[in-house]
Amino acid sequence: MTKPKITETIFRDAHQSLIATRMKTEEMLPIAERLDEVGFYSLEVWGGATFDSCLRFLNEDPWERLRKLRKSVKKTKLQMLLRGQNLLGYKNYPDDVVEEFVKKSIENGIDIIRIFDALNDVRNLSKSIETTKKSGGHAQAAISYTISPVHNVDYYVKLSKEMENMGADSICIKDMSGILMPYTAYELVTKLKKEINLPIQLHSHFTSGVANQTYMKGIEAGVDIVDTALSPFSMGTSQPSTESMIASLKDSQYDTGLDLSLVADIADYFKPIREKYIKEGILNPKVLEVDSRTLTYQVPGGMLSNLVSQLEQQGSLDKYEKVLEEVPRVREDLGYPPLVTPMSQMVGTQAVFNVILGERYKMVPSEVKNYVLGLYGSPAVPISDEIKQKIIGNEKVFNGRPADLLEPQLEKLKNEIKEYIEQDEDVLTYASFPQIALKYFQHRQAEKYKIDSSLLNAEEKTYPV
């Protein structure tokens, strides 16, 4: 029996879940070396929404954050989350962009890349897994966990075997909604340990209040690694508490061997940071509440807040319950996609339209149309002809690998921003978030040349004459 290891999420998923990924690099660096002393299996520090938030809200270069953390963390593996062919954005990127992004992530300090696809379509994982391994990284393939008439233990075992055959170095059960029940976790981990010969990692969120029990049953079944967050940024829509997990396993056959007093001291560093974000109104106490509706509607915590925001903008917050009831119906219509980015946004927005307009599929976002056309991959359950007719009419569905439709883009992108390039990674930043990247590049040039950034012309991408 192997003792469970811990991945600490404080620098990525913990603050993404509770404070919309607003933690700054300057708040991370003073404690990074101490985190390196604990003996965690890995520190999750990058990917997910960190890239977008660095540029959009913090005016930081995400690549520079990674390099600084790598310099401070010398012993512990650094981990990131990647959306397969979507990279860190919300659409598919061509293979040349995916290859370069993965290569540069590893060059800048990432050891482990957790790769998932919103539809569990392994074709969307292949290029990332292949490039990660070729670049000397650890490719962790992730199951996007959901529940439906077809998403059961046997489905996930079969999926994991496909991932193993593709060359994955480990498997993560990614329970983004906090809906994996303890005894189901025990059954799933038990079968995975029998059927595949790879380490198994378990990732969940405390949204529904059951993640601690799920982790314990997973550990009893032989899971190798669990994801936790230091207590100031744990629980709620984040992960279970690191200190509580270490304490719960202490003096048992599953003792992690980690020093609880050291971890508690490190957690103290984050308490005033947490208080600051509470005072600024960024940490909303609502995200710390247990929400049992998650178990009924399978809606992740972040998606719940997004639905509230959409309805407030429409002046229709009174329709919140009706939208929650509509979400599972839309999900069924669309072939039971897991509610993870970008599918959670698509399903949620469509549910809002259906309720507010009083007619189902009267208005359909272009992303939902593209999904039904097969441009994101294949759903686990085929979409009915009736729903297809409502959404795309008689248009033909594409059944191949979506990225095969995309032309190489790197050279074109380089040419578009040649006057801004200061490092190779800038092209990947621009590929990921073009408009936000341009604003960041212009600000960077303004700082460098000590000029007023308002004088820069965003559309022309040059200095005004």
Q: Mean per-residue pLDDT for 19-41?
A: 97
Residue 334 pLDDT class (50, 70, 90 cuts): very high
Residue 454 pLDDT class (50, 70, 90 cuts): low
262 and 364 together in one domain = no
- Domain membership of residue 462 (yes or no) is no
Which run of H or of E encompasses 81? Answer: strand 77-82
- Domain membership of residue 293 (yes or no) is no
- Domain membership of residue 460 (yes or no) is no
165 and 228 together in one domain = yes
The per-residue pLDDT for range 241-257, each reduced to its tens digit, is 999 999 999 999 999 99
For residue 156, the number of C-alpha atoms closer than 13 Å in the C-beta half-sphere is 29
The per-residue pLDDT for range 69-108, each reduced to its tens digit, is 999 999 999 999 999 999 998 899 999 999 999 999 999 9
Whether residue 313 has pLDDT greater than 70: yes
Predicted model pTM: 0.94
Residue predicted with more confidence, 421 or 461: 421
Q: How far from 437 is each of 97, 244, 462, CA to CA, in Å?
A: 16, 40, 14
Task: Return the pLDDT at 447.
Answer: 84
248 and 361 together in one domain = no
- Domain membership of residue 220 (yes or no) is yes
Number of domains in the chain: 3
User: How far is Cα 327 from Cα 187, in angstroms, rounded to an integer?
Assistant: 28
Q: What is the CATH number of the domain that holds 343?
A: 1.10.472.90
111 and 25 together in one domain = yes
- Domain membership of residue 465 (yes or no) is no
Task: Return the pLDDT at 306.
Answer: 74
- Domain membership of residue 463 (yes or no) is no
Which run of H or of E encompasses 175? Answer: strand 170-175
Whether residue 464 has pLDDT greater than 50: no
Task: Return the pLDDT at 412.
Answer: 97
255 and 304 together in one domain = no
- Domain membership of residue 292 (yes or no) is no
37 and 101 together in one domain = yes
Nearest to 69 by CA among 229, 61, 230, 114: 61
Task: Return the pLDDT at 461.
Answer: 40
Task: Return the pLDDT at 318.
Answer: 92
342 and 223 together in one domain = no
325 and 270 together in one domain = no
The alpha carbon torsion through 148, 342, 116, 3 (nearest 10 deg) reads: -70
- Domain membership of residue 461 (yes or no) is no
Task: Return the pLDDT at 1.
Answer: 65
Task: Return the pLDDT at 459.
Answer: 45
392 and 417 together in one domain = no
Whether residue 453 has pLDDT greater than 60: no
Q: Mean per-residue pLDDT for 153-173?
A: 98
The per-residue pLDDT for range 339-389, each reduced to its tens digit, is 988 898 899 999 999 999 999 999 999 999 999 999 999 999 999 999 999
Give the domain-ending residue among 400, 418, 447: 400
Task: Return the pLDDT at 457.
Answer: 53
261 and 388 together in one domain = no
Task: Return the pLDDT at 452.
Answer: 63
Q: What is the DSSP string of 377-446?
A: ---SSPPPHHHHHHHHTTPPPP-S-GGGGPPP-HHHHHHHTTTT-SSTHHHHHHHH-HHHHHHHHHHHHH
Residue 298 pLDDT class (50, 70, 90 cuts): confident
Q: What is the CATH number of the domain that holds 42?
A: 3.20.20.70
Give the domain-ending residue among 356, 378, 400: 400
The per-residue pLDDT for range 212-230, each reduced to its tens digit, is 999 999 999 999 999 999 9
Task: Return the pLDDT at 456.
Answer: 56
**Percentage of the chain exceeding pLDDT 90:** 84
113 and 230 together in one domain = yes
Please give the residue range of the domain that contains residue 446: 408-455
What is the pLDDT of the chain when averaged over all its residues? 93
270 and 217 together in one domain = yes
**Neighbouring residues of 52: CB distance < 8 A, sequence distance ≥ 6:** 21, 88, 89, 432, 433, 436
The tokens of 122 are what?
Answer: 């392994």
